[in-house]
């Protein structure tokens, strides 16, 4: 018997020898999506895709090397809700964040009975298995980024989805509830069942913190960078990923490093360059891009005004599994 005969014999029985190498999963590649394209696609979807056909009107990033998903761990889409529209209530195991691109104090995402206004630059969490629906009560379209760990959850076989019996869940909590009970003075008797609470991180406060720190040293790899922490634990935004925002000062160029976690970015303000393994990704406001695992990268702001990048990084899941490593390029 030849080795190839053996391989065939085994294959017919759904078996395989260690010597018979098969290709591994596809590798996420660095890629940049232009806001102009995303916006054009979404605007057209607003004209031709009715809400009752889709449940959620989103345009999703797909990494060129993957069948779906912006990366193997992070799903990212941009969602549009037109004036008066409702995106119906449901829940799923995959956790989500919303990062508002165009908002209004009269547009809300309702999570577990609390309505959270969606204003530009706000970050709102929809943790694992929380009921959520969206409503635009303003007279302008609203748009936001949806970041979900859905690909990872589905890969692990743990994705479940359920529709709420009505189109919208009732609003049962007073406005500002989460931010009050999770402030610095907290109720003694409340225990929550959520590992991460539904929460709104207001842009106004985040931006004020960035500006307060502008003259400080900052992170050598990322400039003035903030992590949106879980208000219970002080840990990452969600068990699977961390949302972060960074300000690059005029003419700031960061040091290069690489890590096994994957990052997806949105250029929230300004324009600049991220160099990933020698490839220059030139981004402008609204563009989205990926830095794949274990790729050297640094950021450059070559203009005289501030740049702000929003990102989702899957380091919490990598650290939880003992898979996180990082390395700095020597100076
Ligand atoms: C989802 O539930 C929303 O609730 C958005 O707005 C995007 C992508 C995959 C799976 C569920 C939403 C989603 C999603």
> What's the pLDDT score for residue 330?
87
CA 122 – ligand 1 centroid, Å: 18
CA 56 – ligand 1 centroid, Å: 7
Q: Whose CA is nearest to atom 6 of ligand 1?
A: 56
pTM check: above 0.85: yes
Six-digit token string for 266: 């949105």
Six-digit token string for 50: 């009715």
In this structure, are residues 124 and 243 in contact, taking their beta carbons and an 8 Å threshold? no
CA 145 – ligand 1 centroid, Å: 10
> What's the pLDDT score for residue 25?
87
> What's the pLDDT score for residue 331?
77
CA 286 – ligand 1 centroid, Å: 20
> What's the pLDDT score for residue 192?
65
> What's the pLDDT score for residue 24?
87
The residues lining ligand 1, judged by C-beta closer than 6 Å to any ligand atom, are: 56, 58, 75, 77, 79, 87, 92, 94, 96, 132, 146, 148, 150
pLDDT digits (tens, 9 = 90+) for 254-275: 999 999 999 999 999 999 999 9
In this structure, are residues 289 and 264 in contact, taking their beta carbons and an 8 Å threshold? yes
The list of the chain residues with pLDDT below 70 reads: 192-194
Which of 45, 58, 110 most suits a substitution to test ligand 1, by most atoms within 8 Å of the C-beta? 58
CA 253 – ligand 1 centroid, Å: 35
pLDDT digits (tens, 9 = 90+) for 178-218: 999 999 998 888 876 667 899 999 999 999 999 999 999 99
- The residues spanned by each domain of the chain are 26-328
- Architecture field, domain 26-328: Sandwich (2.60)
Distance, CA of 203 to CA of 208 (rounded, Å): 8
């Amino acid at each position: 018997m030849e080795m190839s005969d053996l391989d065939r014999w085994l294959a017919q029985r759904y078996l395989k020898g260690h010597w018979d190498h098969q290709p591994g999963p596809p590798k996420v590649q660095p890629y940049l999506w232009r806001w102009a394209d995303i916006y054009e696609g979404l605007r057209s979807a607003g004209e031709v895709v009715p809400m009752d056909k889709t449940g959620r009107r989103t345009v999703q990033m797909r990494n060129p090397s993957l069948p779906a998903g912006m990366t193997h761990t992070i799903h990212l889409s941009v969602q549009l809700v037109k004036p008066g529209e409702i995106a119906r209530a449901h829940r799923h195991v995959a956790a989500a964040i919303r990062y508002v691109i165009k908002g209004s104090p009269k547009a809300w995402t309702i999570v577990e009975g609390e309505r959270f206004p969606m204003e530009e630059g706000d970050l709102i969490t929809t943790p694992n298995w929380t009921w959520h629906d969206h409503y635009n009560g303003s007279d302008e379209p609203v748009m936001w980024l949806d970041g979900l760990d859905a690909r990872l959850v589905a890969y692990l076989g743990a994705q479940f989805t359920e529709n709420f019996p009505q189109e919208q869940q009732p609003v049962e909590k007073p406005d500002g509830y989460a931010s009050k009970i999770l402030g610095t003075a907290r109720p003694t008797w409340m225990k929550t069942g959520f590992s991460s609470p539904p929460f709104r991180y207001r842009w106004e406060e985040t931006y004020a913190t960035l500006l307060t720190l502008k003259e400080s040293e900052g992170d050598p790899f990322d400039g003035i960078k903030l992590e949106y922490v879980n208000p219970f634990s002080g840990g990452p935004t969600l068990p699977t990923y961390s949302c972060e925002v960074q300000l690059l000062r005029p003419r700031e160029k960061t040091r290069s490093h690489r890590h096994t976690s994957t990052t997806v970015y949105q250029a929230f303000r300004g324009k600049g360059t991220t160099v990933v393994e020698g490839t220059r990704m030139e981004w402008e406001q609204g563009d989205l891009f990926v830095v794949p695992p274990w790729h050297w990268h640094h950021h450059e702001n070559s203009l005289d005004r501030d740049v702000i990048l929003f990102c989702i990084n899957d380091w919490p899941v990598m650290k939880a599994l003992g898979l996180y490593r990082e390395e700095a390029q020597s100076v």
